[in-house]
Amino acid sequence: MRRTVKKLTLCALLTALALGLSYVERLIPMGLLIPLPGIKLGLANVVTLFALCFLGPGPAFAVLIARCFLGSLFAGSLSGLVFSLTGGLLAMVVMAAARKGGRLSVYGISVCGAAAHNAGQICAAMAVMKTPAAISYLPVLLVTAVFAGALTGAAAAGVFRAAQAAGFARTWSRETNGKQGGAT
């Protein structure tokens, strides 16, 4: 019972943090740095990465779904849900596979996730718009995904090092019966 409450509380905190980062991200004038429409850093992916690496795919999936639904609800645009959900789910699958591969660091996993996120959103756009025209934007998005993914990867690496130094993984693993804590 205690373990479940702890897990639920941590997932709720991570969801709130991801929503906050999504909001803060909108205040960053990306258009001044990269003069292209629709470019985002994807700061919320730091939280998804943390959940995936420290808590496992299940909780990470729950945090992602909650963040997508609540984000669309707060933004007042449920039409955006299909894009964030498709991109987010594809990114999650790719990042989980990249992590399981064991070769990539948090930087590489983040870049793969960013590229998958953009590819997923373009697929959703093609389905919603009922035309393949949106694919012409994918090369540009993939190039920006490398830089955005590396930046969020750097942020995630800092968080991971701090969490590891604080012994988060060991504490979490002990308190949740040794079943969690992918990163030590």
Q: Can you give the binding site for another protein, defined by CB under 8 A? A: 31, 36-38, 53, 77, 79, 83, 98-99, 103-109, 111-112, 115, 125, 128-140, 142-143, 145-146, 150, 153, 157, 160-161, 164, 182-184
Give the DSSP letter string of 98-155: HHHH----HHHHHHHHHHHHHHHHHHHHHHHHTSGGGGGGHHHHHHHHHHHHHHHHHH
Q: Select from 133, 53, 121, 64 the least CA-distant residue to 87.
A: 121
H or E element at residue 100: helix 81-101
- Closer CB to another protein, 16 or 157, in the complex: 157
- Range list of β-strands (E), 88-143: none
- Closer CB to another protein, 139 or 178, in the complex: 139
Q: Are 9 and 38 in contact (CB under 8 A)?
A: no
- Closer CB to another protein, 16 or 75, in the complex: 75
Rounded to the nearest whole angstrom, what is the least distance from the CB of residue 1 to another protein in the complex? 30
- Closer CB to another protein, 16 or 183, in the complex: 183
Rounded to the nearest whole angstrom, what is the least distance from the CB of residue 69 to another protein in the complex? 19
Rounded to the nearest whole angstrom, what is the least distance from the CB of residue 5 to another protein in the complex? 26
Q: Cα Rg for the chain, rounded, in angstroms?
A: 16
Rounded to the nearest whole angstrom, what is the least distance from the CB of residue 134 to another protein in the complex? 5
- Closer CB to another protein, 70 or 75, in the complex: 75
Rounded to the nearest whole angstrom, what is the least distance from the CB of residue 18 to another protein in the complex? 19
37, two tokens: 């429409």
**C-alpha–C-alpha distance, residues 12 and 162, integer Å:** 21
177, two tokens: 């019966």
Rounded to the nearest whole angstrom, what is the least distance from the CB of residue 109 to another protein in the complex? 8
- Closer CB to another protein, 43 or 106, in the complex: 106
Give the DSSP letter string of 41-55: --THHHHHHHIIIII
